[in-house]
């Protein structure tokens, strides 16, 4: 543990948050990983305010902890899945202020003050148009990647309510489905876009 | 023998229990509190057999005996029970059965789920229905023969009496089990053949905990392992000083998965028996400590550190040598000598990692006298005795719960990780969840073998196929299937098979053997048809007609008529023979896992990359139990095969797997999937056969054959590496 004054801490989190977001937005995974590796040496625990699925909560946690493990291990929200840990498969996809992000590469500190939405919070009754379309098309085989697929699809439809095939292809290309349900995923997004 | 689980709380597992944090947890009986269990026990449903429970409230629970990893067995197997039980599918609950010998083999693999349960589960439904009829007959004092059923209700139409199953279950359970019942004919099926949605579909779409990786347990610790970085390596030194001091870490130690002297093989196979284990409070903390371990590895005594390149050289040498014939018909040597044309081609395919999306993980809570285990297992019955022997707890004190699996593809039949988790839990005296990182999983061996096959065909002056020769092998297994087509259709036929030993571990991978040899053979036949100046479908149909009317040899393991049937169906559905401007088409057909599949691929080349416009499938798998899920599985088989044909490859250097995550190991992605897939099932009253695997092998051939039309290049090596092939011989830009 490193002792820091309150002011230092605040600066630190702000810098972590800012740099992480820049790295993610710029798609600079290597830079981001290096940055994270340096940070891990500090072992700082911090009180971090989060809004997850509309619920405000404070966690005392290592600020470098990826959001994925905060959700899964600390908040018992296990819908987002671990698949690769390097933002290459999309199984961990959640929404950060409405945008699809890979939670395995999102430090919890970078989410402080932002709104996180997981599959559990996508709709109150499991009736988001994308979820309904997934059920209608009987998309799933093993089902493991589907929460991530649904979150990517829901984020796409938010910005692009009537996506073209190409827009769907581009938005969904980061989500691997090992069972090969891509055609049903595509068709379900088309159906959801009509509702 | 396992004892029967007779208490209601032990049967009520996999419930989702609300947590204070707003989330849910997976709830096996032993994860829920005793209080909750006794509350459930107030309305104990009546068990009419291991598969059927009927509550007084009318709720009917059907047990899904086999573990589910995406083939839909959790839905389609209970459908078999429902068909004969005569109930309303909308009013039932499906539960995943735990491991218990009363459910038989509980093996999900070999495309065998529906095939092996076809009679037993329908019989279970018919038996319970008959007991309910008998109960009504006794209560109403009427002959059982006058009683009918419909949608979960028993009727005596003469007296106008009726009663729902729930009212009769208690009485029915006291009656003797009837035998010799007649099952419904195909024409009378109401449930079977009706598209029925995945029973877990809503839970999946809403992110409910269904997988072992989602399990929570009071006091549960997270365990991770570090295994040797390569085949033939063992731990030389471990420095865990820094890792031990890291936050949340409970312990670091090494384990042997199996005790020294244990005979390990078959489904108990393990790659790296000696493991470094890190145990701590949370996944992220343990992951970080694992990264901080300093390990040195050294070759095991006498171990060769193999490489893909050196293996390939050895395979080329073996391919030149005559080896023992697996089958010989006629005089192949003479046929090749007298041939007007001889075509010879060699095909190769690399190791493949299974890469199911849920990395290997397992839950274990081993106490002094019992073990509570849960995990993704394709074959729970095959690991139980190994666990028992390793932790010294008798099998009847080992409870194995089966969760939905995030994919399997064969990998989860090799469940060394269940033993590892049990050993770690026993040592920690705590419930633990063992979680492999993606890297641990991908570099952990048990790969699809490294294959090759050399084919030769002899054509006479009239372009008749007079000789056929396949010589194939691999590291460390051969894919040659000597008695499959075109064996039986050619007078002079020779199949030879060889293997090269290796310390790289391999295992069943979706359609073992067939997943290489099917595509290789179908690519080769395409080239032979072309050399003979024949249409590739007509060429195959001619051979199949020969095999049907005048088969060569006795051991041909296919039905030539059904084989020809799928080719004719795909020809019709794809309008084969009608030219489509700009479209390159390829065809293939294969028989494995007792099913027949023919496929046509339509593609266009865009910037030296294939865009697959459409795949047409014709499938003969007997009766189709659940059409919507069956089509999904067929689509998945095509997509998976296209992905592996284009990109799938694990290479080894100095014993070390060279790819460890999805950044380097290319998987097929959304953009690369076909734009459309049609699946046409042959209408059949024959008993169902496999479906999880048969679509996979021929697609490698159909794709290669379509690519040939689009690029004028044949693709002999998997992965196809199209861009590199097309750049061959061209000056670098």
Band (pLDDT 50/70/90 cuts) for residue B23 is very low
Residue B364 lies inside a defined structural domain of this protein: yes
Q: How far apart are alpha carbons B410 and B623 in whole angstroms?
A: 25
The structural domains of chain A, ordered by start, are 6-118 (3.10.20.30), 129-194 (1.10.150.120)
> pLDDT tens digits for A116-127?
999 999 999 999
> pLDDT tens digits for B120-137?
999 999 999 999 999 999
**pLDDT over threshold 60, residue B615:** yes
* DSSP code at position B339: -
Report the pLDDT averaged over residues B553-569: 96
Band (pLDDT 50/70/90 cuts) for residue B1 is very low
Q: How far apart are alpha carbons A161 and B595 in whole angstroms?
A: 42
- φ/ψ of A55, rounded to 5, equals -105, 125
Tokens read off for B72: 């839909």
One domain, residues B659 and B621: yes
Q: How far apart are alpha carbons B179 and B288 in whole angstroms?
A: 60
Percent with pLDDT over 90 in chain A = 76
Q: Do B23 and A75 touch (CB under 8 A)?
A: yes
Residue B268 pLDDT: 79
Candidate from B94-108, B295-309, B443-457 with smallest mean pLDDT: B94-108
Band (pLDDT 50/70/90 cuts) for residue B729 is confident
One domain, residues B106 and B252: no
Higher-confidence residue of A20 and B398: namely B398
Q: Do A181 and B632 touch (CB under 8 A)?
A: yes
Closest chain A residue to B222, measured at CA: A73
Return the residue matching tokens 């020769």. B469
Query: Which of A85, A122, A165 is facing B437, going by the closest CB pair?
Result: A85
Residue B675 pLDDT: 98
Residue B285 pLDDT: 97
Return the residue matching tokens 């839950």. B363
> pLDDT tens digits for B178-219?
999 999 999 999 999 999 999 999 999 999 999 999 999 999
**pLDDT over threshold 60, residue B422:** yes
Residue B618 lies inside a defined structural domain of this protein: yes
Residue B728 pLDDT: 82
Candidate from B385-389, B469-473, B576-580, B700-704 with smallest mean pLDDT: B576-580
One domain, residues B241 and B255: yes
Percent with pLDDT over 90 in chain B = 86
One domain, residues B200 and B293: no
Q: How far apart are alpha carbons B733 and B727 in whole angstroms?
A: 10
* DSSP code at position A140: -
Residue B589 pLDDT: 98
Residue B262 pLDDT: 82
Residue A63 contacts B, CB cutoff 8 Å: no
Residue A69 contacts B, CB cutoff 8 Å: yes
Q: Is the peptide bond before A127 cis (omega within 30 degrees of 0)?
A: no
Higher-confidence residue of B568 and B381: namely B568
Residue B315 lies inside a defined structural domain of this protein: no
* DSSP code at position B577: T
Helix (H) or strand (E) holding B362: strand B361-366
> To the nearest whole number, what is the mean pLDDT of chain B?
92
Instruction: Give how far A155 is from chain B: nearest CA, Å.
Output: 15
Return the residue matching tokens 């959801």. A192
What is residue B498's three-state secondary structure?
strand
Which residues of chain A are within 8 Å of residue B643 when distances are taken between CB atoms? 180
Q: Do B207 and A141 touch (CB under 8 A)?
A: no
What is the residue range of B19's domain?
1-44
Residue B471 lies inside a defined structural domain of this protein: yes
Beta bridge partners of A94: A101
One domain, residues B196 and B344: no
One domain, residues B116 and B78: yes
Contacts of B109 (CB under 8 A, 6+ apart): B378, B379, B408, B410, B413, B508
Residue B151 lies inside a defined structural domain of this protein: yes
Count of CB atoms situated within 10 Å of the CB of B158: 10
CATH of the domain at B430: 3.30.365.10
**Of B184, B205, B226, which marks where a domain is finished?**
B205
Residue B189 lies inside a defined structural domain of this protein: yes
> pLDDT tens digits for B37-91?
344 444 578 888 889 999 888 899 999 999 999 999 999 999 999 999 999 999 8
Say how many residues make up chain A: 195
Tokens read off for B264: 């390990």
**pLDDT over threshold 50, residue B12:** no
8 A C-beta contact, residue A188 and residue A139:
yes
Residue A22 pLDDT: 65
DSSP string, B623-641: S-S-HHHHHHHHHHHHHHH
Report the pLDDT averaged over residues A139-166: 98
**Of B385, B412, B435, which marks where a domain is finished?**
B435
Report the pLDDT averaged over residues B547-572: 97
Residue B194 lies inside a defined structural domain of this protein: yes
Residue B15 pLDDT: 36
Q: How far apart are alpha carbons B615 and B641 in whole angstroms?
A: 12
Enumerate residues 25 to 44 of chain A having a beta carbon within 8 A of any beta carbon in chain B.
40, 43
Q: Name the nearest CA neighbour of B513 among B311, B326, B349, B313.
A: B349
Residue B617 pLDDT: 98
> pLDDT tens digits for B222-241?
999 999 999 999 999 999 99
Helix (H) or strand (E) holding B82: helix B73-85
**pLDDT over threshold 70, residue A18:** no
One domain, residues B417 and B276: yes
Residue B609 pLDDT: 95
8 A C-beta contact, residue B326 and residue B494:
no
> pLDDT tens digits for B650-696?
999 999 999 999 999 999 999 999 999 999 999 999 999 999 999 99
Residue B263 pLDDT: 78
One domain, residues B366 and B345: no
Start-to-end C-alpha separation, chain B: 68
Q: For helices B514-531 and B627-646, what crossing angle results, to 10°?
A: 80
> pLDDT tens digits for B51-65?
999 988 889 999 999
Band (pLDDT 50/70/90 cuts) for residue A4 is very low
One domain, residues B576 and B521: yes
One domain, residues B59 and B37: no
One domain, residues B1 and B74: no
Tokens read off for B462: 């009239």
**pLDDT over threshold 70, residue B733:** no
Return the residue matching tokens 């390149």. B309
Instruction: Label residue B64 exposed, middle or buried (CB < 10 Å: 0-12, 13-18, 19+).
Output: buried
Report the pLDDT averaged over residues B461-476: 97
Residue B309 lies inside a defined structural domain of this protein: no
Residue A40 pLDDT: 53
Q: Do B205 and A146 touch (CB under 8 A)?
A: yes
β pairing state of B221-226 and B432-435: parallel
> pLDDT tens digits for A78-117?
999 999 999 999 999 999 999 999 999 999 999 999 999 9
Q: Do A146 and B69 touch (CB under 8 A)?
A: no
Instruction: Give how far A10 is from chain B: nearest CA, Å.
Output: 22
Q: Do B247 and A178 touch (CB under 8 A)?
A: no
Q: How far apart are alpha carbons B361 and B94 in whole angstroms?
A: 24
Report the pLDDT averaged over residues B405-427: 97
Report the pLDDT averaged over residues B584-612: 97
Contacts of A86 (CB under 8 A, 6+ apart): A29, A104, A105, B438, B661, B662, B663
**Of B12, B28, B44, which marks where a domain is finished?**
B44
Residue B614 pLDDT: 98
Which residues of chain A are within 8 Å of residue B207 when distances are taken between CB atoms? 77-80, 118-120, 122, 147
ipTM score for this prediction = 0.94
Q: How far apart are alpha carbons B619 and B696 in whole angstroms?
A: 12
Q: How far is CA B494 from CA A115, B480, B539, in A?
A: 67, 11, 20
Residue B732 pLDDT: 57
Return the residue matching tokens 């007997």. B622
One domain, residues B597 and B558: yes
Band (pLDDT 50/70/90 cuts) for residue A24 is low
Q: How far apart are alpha carbons B701 and B485 in whole angstroms?
A: 15
Q: How far apart are alpha carbons B563 and B548 in whole angstroms?
A: 10
> pLDDT tens digits for B622-645?
999 999 999 999 999 999 999 999
8 A C-beta contact, residue B53 and residue B46:
yes
* Number of structural domains in chain B: 4
């Amino acid at each position: 543990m490193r002792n820091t004054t309150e002011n230092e801490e605040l600066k630190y989190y702000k810098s972590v948050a800012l740099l992480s977001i820049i790295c993610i937005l710029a798609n600079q995974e290597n830079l981001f990983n290096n940055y994270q590796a340096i940070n891990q040496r500090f072992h700082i625990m911090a009180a971090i305010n989060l809004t997850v699925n509309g619920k405000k909560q404070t966690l005392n946690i290592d600020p470098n902890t990826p959001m994925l493990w905060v959700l899964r291990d600390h908040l018992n929200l296990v819908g987002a899945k671990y698949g690769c840990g390097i933002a290459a498969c999309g199984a961990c996809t959640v929404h950060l202020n409405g945008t699809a992000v890979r939670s395995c590469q999102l430090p919890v500190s970078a989410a402080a003050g932002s709104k996180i939405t997981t599959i559990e919070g996508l709709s109150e009754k499991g009736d988001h148009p994308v979820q309904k379309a997934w059920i209608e098309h009987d998309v799933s085989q093993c089902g493991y990647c589907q929460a991530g697929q649904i979150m990517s699809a829901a984020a796409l439809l938010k910005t692009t309510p009537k996506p073209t095939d190409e827009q769907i292809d581009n938005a969904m290309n980061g989500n691997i489905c090992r069972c090969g349900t891509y055609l049903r995923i595509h068709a379900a997004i088309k159906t959801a876009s009509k509702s | 023998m396992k004892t029967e689980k007779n208490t209601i709380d032990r049967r009520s597992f996999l419930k989702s229990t609300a947590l204070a944090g707003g989330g849910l947890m997976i709830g096996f009986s032993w994860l829920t509190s005793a209080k909750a269990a006794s509350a459930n026990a107030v309305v104990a449903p009546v068990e009419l057999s291991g598969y059927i429970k009927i509550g007084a409230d009318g709720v009917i629970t059907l047990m899904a005996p086999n573990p589910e990893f995406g083939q839909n067995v959790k839905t389609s197997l209970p459908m078999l029970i429902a068909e004969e039980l005569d109930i309303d599918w909308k009013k039932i609950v499906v539960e995943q059965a735990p491991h218990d010998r009363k459910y038989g083999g509980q093996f999900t693999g070999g495309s065998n789920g529906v095939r092996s349960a076809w009679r037993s589960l329908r019989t279970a439904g018919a038996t319970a229905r008959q007991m309910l009829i008998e109960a009504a007959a006794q209560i109403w004092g009427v002959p059982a023969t006058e009683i009918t059923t419909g949608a979960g209700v028993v009727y005596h139409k003469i007296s106008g009496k009726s009663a729902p199953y729930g009212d009769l279950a208690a009485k029915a359970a006291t009656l003797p089990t009837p035998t010799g019942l007649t099952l419904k004919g195909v024409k009378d099926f109401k449930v079977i053949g009706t598209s029925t949605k995945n029973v877990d579909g809503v839970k999946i779409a809403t992110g409910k905990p269904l997988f072992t990786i989602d399990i929570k347990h009071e006091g549960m610790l997270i365990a991770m392992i570090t295994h040797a970085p390569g085949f033939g390596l063992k731990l030389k030194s471990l420095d865990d000083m820094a890792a031990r001091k890291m936050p949340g870490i409970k312990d670091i130690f090494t384990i042997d998965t199996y005790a020294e002297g244990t005979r390990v093989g078959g489904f108990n196979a393990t790659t790296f028996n000696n493991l470094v284990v890190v145990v701590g409070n949370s996944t992220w903390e343990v992951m970080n400590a694992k990264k901080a371990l300093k390990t040195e590895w050294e070759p095991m005594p006498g171990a060769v550190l193999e490489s893909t390149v050196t293996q390939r050289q050895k395979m080329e040498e073996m391919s030149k040598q005559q080896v023992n014939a697996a089958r010989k018909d006629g005089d192949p040597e003479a046929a090749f000598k007298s041939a007007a044309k001889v075509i010879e081609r060699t095909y190769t395919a690399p190791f493949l990692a299974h890469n199911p999306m849920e990395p290997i993980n397992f839950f274990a809570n081993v106490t002094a006298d019992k073990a509570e285990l849960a995990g993704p297992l394709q074959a729970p019955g095959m690991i139980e005795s190994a666990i028992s022997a390793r932790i010294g707890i008798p099998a009847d004190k080992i409870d194995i719960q089966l969760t939905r699996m995030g994919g399997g593809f064969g990998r989860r039949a090799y469940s060394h990780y269940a033993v590892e988790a049990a050993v770690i839990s026993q040592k920690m005296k705590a419930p633990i969840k063992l979680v492999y990182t993606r890297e641990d999983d991908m570099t952990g061996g048990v790969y699809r073998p490294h294959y090759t096959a050399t084919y030769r065909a002899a054509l006479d002056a009239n372009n008749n196929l007079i000789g056929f020769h396949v010589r194939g092998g691999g590291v460390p297994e051969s894919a040659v299937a000597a008695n499959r087509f075109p064996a039986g259709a050619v007078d002079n036929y020779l199949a030879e098979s060889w293997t090269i030993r290796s310390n790289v571990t391999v295992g069943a991978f979706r359609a073992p053997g067939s997943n290489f040899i099917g595509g290789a053979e179908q690519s080769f036949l395409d080239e032979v048809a072309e050399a003979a100046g024949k249409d590739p479908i007509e060429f195959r149909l001619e051979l199949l007609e020969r095999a049907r009317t005048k088969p060569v040899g006795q051991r041909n393991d296919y039905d030539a008529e059904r084989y020809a049937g799928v080719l004719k169906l795909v020809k019709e559905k794809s309008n084969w023979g009608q030219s489509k401007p700009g479209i390159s088409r390829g065809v293939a057909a294969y028989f494995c896992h007792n099913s027949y599949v023919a496929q046509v691929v339509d593609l266009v080349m865009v910037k030296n990359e294939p865009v697959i416009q459409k795949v047409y499938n014709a499938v003969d798998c007997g009766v189709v139990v659940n059409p919507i899920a069956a089509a999904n599985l067929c689509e998945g088989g095509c997509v998976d095969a296209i992905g592996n044909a284009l990109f799938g490859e694990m290479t080894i250097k100095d014993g070390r797997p060279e790819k460890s995550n999805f950044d380097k190991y290319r998987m097929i992605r959304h953009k690369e999937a076909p734009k459309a897939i049609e699946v046409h099932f042959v209408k059949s009253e024959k008993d169902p056969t496999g479906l999880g695997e048969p679509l996979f092998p021929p697609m490698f051939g159909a794709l290669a054959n379509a690519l040939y039309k689009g690029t004028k290049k044949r693709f002999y090596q998997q992965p196809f590496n199209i861009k590199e092939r097309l750049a061959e011989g061209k000056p670098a830009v």
